[in-house]
Every structure is written in structure tokens, then in C-alpha cells.
């Protein structure tokens, strides 16, 4: 969409080579926060409850997503305040999974030649553009912000799945 409005902006996207020969790195397990001591503070207990209550996080996330899609919360504000949430929604929309060190997106029925991945640095953040060719139809293009910890990005397309690691 950005290229349609400003064709000169495409030069800032750098292609990322998609490797089809090596396997992805296995994801790490999520760590659960512990509350230590006999008298933890009220704030620590409250934070622990919200971390452990997956249903509350899911409901809050779905509510915010509905507000954004209804135009009640501007997406630009969300992108500035919580880019990780935007990445999570984008990956979930593509039926993928987010790992601590990257993400995996299933692309069954697509060949490695049909997949193009580009990265762009904007200040301290890194954006990823995924372009999937679909024969005679318009290609599927998605842009997503990557976490701040993503510096050295690698892409692997194995068994119909795109594995991005950082």
C-alpha cells in the first residue's frame, strides 16, 4: 500500500534471503515469574495474577483489536505504544506462532520462490515485509514491526513453513 502512494519508498526495503536447506532453531520455553518471600507486595501479587490469567489477557487483546478494526482507536497510536501486540495480531491472522526468538508462519501450497521477505530500519525499530506471490492474482503483502531485540534476522522456508529467527 505504501508503494502505491510513494513508489520511491521501495528502495529502503532490503531483501532478506530465505534459506531452504537448514532447519530452524528450536524455540525456548516461556519462563513463569515466581513470587518470593512470605510477604509479597500487593503490586507483585496483582501483576502475578494478570500474568497467570490468560483469559483476561485474551479478552483485553480481543477488545482492543475490535476497537481498532472499528476505527475507535487509531492504529498509529497502537504502533507507537505496543508494537509487539501488532506483531502478535498479524501473525495470528496468518495462523502462525510467535516464539521467544522468532516466529513461524505456515505457507502450505506456496513454493520458496513465491516467498519474498524484506526488512527496513526505521530509527531503532525494524519492520518486516512479507510478500507472497499468488500466480495471476495480486500478491499478499503484510508489514509487521519486529521486537527491539531483533538485530540479526534469518529466514528459513522448510516443509511449507516460513521460520523467521532473530
Locate the domains of the chain by residue range. 2-20+38-165
For the chain, where are the alpha helices, taking DSSP H only?
2-5, 42-52, 54-69, 75-81, 83-93
Q: Assign 104 a pLDDT band (cuts: 50, 70, 90).
A: very high
Q: Assign 83 a pLDDT band (cuts: 50, 70, 90).
A: low
Strands 102-106 and 97-99: antiparallel
Q: Note the pLDDT of residue 95.
A: 85
Do the Cβ atoms of 86 and 103 come closer than 8 Å?
no
Poorest-pLDDT segment among 20-34, 41-55, 110-124, 134-148? 20-34
Task: List pLDDT tens digits, range 51-82.
Answer: 777 777 778 777 877 776 665 655 566 666 66
Which percentage of the chain shows pLDDT scores above 70? 72
Q: Assign 30 a pLDDT band (cuts: 50, 70, 90).
A: very low
Distance set, CA 80 to CA 3, 76, 133 (Å): 21, 6, 30
Q: Note the pLDDT of residue 157.
A: 92
Average pLDDT, the chain: 76
- Claim: this prediction has a pTM higher than 0.85: no
CB atoms within 10 A of CB 156: 20
Q: Note the pLDDT of residue 155.
A: 92
Q: Assign 134 a pLDDT band (cuts: 50, 70, 90).
A: confident
Q: Note the pLDDT of residue 28.
A: 40
Alpha carbon distance 21, 43 (integer Å)? 48
Q: Note the pLDDT of residue 116.
A: 94
Amino acid at each position: 500500500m505504501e508503494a502505491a502512494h510513494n513508489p520511491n519508498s521501495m528502495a529502503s526495503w532490503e531483501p532478506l534471503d530465505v534459506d531452504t536447506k537448514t532447519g530452524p532453531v528450536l524455540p525456548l520455553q516461556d519462563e513463569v515469574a515466581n513470587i518470593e518471600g512470605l510477604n509479597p507486595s500487593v503490586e507483585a501479587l496483582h501483576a502475578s495474577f494478570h500474568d497467570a490469567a490468560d483469559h483476561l489477557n485474551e479478552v483485553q487483546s480481543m477488545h482492543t483489536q475490535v476497537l481498532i478494526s472499528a476505527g475507535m482507536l487509531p492504529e498509529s497510536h497502537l504502533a507507537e505504544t505496543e508494537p509487539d501486540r501488532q506483531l502478535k495480531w498479524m501473525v495470528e491472522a496468518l495462523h502462525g506462532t510467535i516464539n521467544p526468538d522468532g516466529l513461524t508462519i505456515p505457507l502450505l501450497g506456496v513454493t520458496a520462490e513465491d516467498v519474498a521477505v524484506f526488512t527496513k530500519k526505521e530509527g531503532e525499530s525494524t519492520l518486516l515485509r512479507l510478500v507472497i506471490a499468488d500466480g495471476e492474482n495480486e500478491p499478499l503483502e503484510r508489514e509487521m514491526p519486529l521486537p527491539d531485540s531483533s538485530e540479526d534476522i534469518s529466514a528459513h522456508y522448510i516443509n511449507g513453513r516460513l521460520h523467521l529467527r532473530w
